[in-house]
Amino acid sequence: MGVQVGFRLLTDVTRAPESTVREFDGLRSCDISDVMRRAGTMVGIRRVYTPMPAALGTAITVSVPFGGVNMIKLAMEQTRPGDVLVVAAHGVTEYALWGGNLTRGLKARGVRALVVDGAIRDVTEIQAEGYSMYARGVATAVGGIDSPWGEVNVPVACGGVVVQPGDIVVADDDGIVVVPPDEASEIAAATRELMAKHESAQPTLLRGEVTSIDEITRSFLAAGLATVTREPA
C-alpha cells in the first residue's frame, strides 16, 4: 500500500452538534478570544471584502502545502450544510487556490464560509455572491491544479492555530476563532458573561470616566509607580 501520510482522504468526521454550534450565535470572535486567553485565535487571515457576513460552522479541513486546487475540490466534496471549509496552504500568497466559480459551488452546498491560509482571487465575484471569505492575501495567477499531494480532514495549521475536523469556527469582522467542541458550552457561557460585564461598564464610559482606574492606580503604586508633578515653567 505504501506510505499514506501526505496524500490521503479521511471521510469519517465527528462534527460538533448543531445545538452546540448555535450557542455561539451573536458572539464576537474578539470576546471569545479573550475568554480563551488568545488560544484558538488565527493571525494574519482576514475578510477579503467589507462589509461581509459573519460565519459560524464546523470545520472541514484540507492541507495543500504545495498548492493543489483539485485536492481542495476533494475536500469540498466532503462538506455539508453548516460547515466551514478550512484550507491550510502554508501562508503562500504568490498564487491563488480559490476563485469565483468555486465560491458559487461552495455556497450552493450550504457551506457557511471559506478560510484560506493562502491566497484567493475573483474578489469582485465573491463579493457579488455575498459569501463569507477569509484569506491571507489576494493573487492574480492560479496555483497548481492537479498536484499529487495533500490531505483532507486531518489536523491542520491555519493562521497559527491547529484546526481539527469538526471544530467550531467563528469568523467575523474582527477575525477568526476556533473552539474545541468538548469545551464549547463553557466557553460560550463565559463569553456571554464577559459581554454582560462590558455592557455594565457602558454608563461609566458614557460619563467619560476611565473604568477600573482606582484599582489600576493602586496596583501600579504597589508595584513602585513614581508620580512626578512638574512645576509650571
Interval 58-103: pLDDT, tens: 999 999 998 899 999 999 999 999 999 999 999 999 999 999 999 9
Report the pLDDT value the prediction gives residue 51, as an integer from 0 to 100. 94
C-alpha distances in angstroms, 211 versus 30, 207, 221, 224?
19, 10, 17, 21
Is residue 222 domain-resident? no
Q: Omega of the bond prior to 51 within 30 degrees of 0, cis?
A: yes
pLDDT tens for 189-232 read 999 999 999 999 989 999 999 999 999 999 999 999 998 988 87
Is residue 214 domain-resident? no
DSSP label of 41:
B
Do 134 and 123 contact (CB within 8 A), yes or no?
A: no
Positive or negative, the CA dihedral 185, 19, 12, 166 is negative
Is residue 179 domain-resident? yes
CATH of the domain at 143: 3.50.30.40
- Dist. CA 107–CA 2, nearest whole Å: 36
Is residue 71 domain-resident? yes
Is residue 201 domain-resident? no
Residue type, 123: V
Is residue 106 domain-resident? yes
> How many domains would you assign to the chain?
1
Is residue 177 domain-resident? yes
Task: Please say if the pLDDT value at position 115 is more than 70.
Answer: yes
- Dist. CA 134–CA 52, nearest whole Å: 10
Task: Please say if the pLDDT value at position 5 is more than 90.
Answer: no
Computed over every residue of the chain, the mean pLDDT equals 95
Question: What integer is the mean pLDDT of 173-191?
Answer: 98
- Structural domain of residue 122, as residue ranges? 7-195
Give residues with Cβ within 8 angstroms of 28, minimum separation 6. Answer: 172, 174
Is residue 93 domain-resident? yes
Report the pLDDT value the prediction gives residue 3, as an integer from 0 to 100. 57
**Element (H or E) spanning 48, and its range?**
none
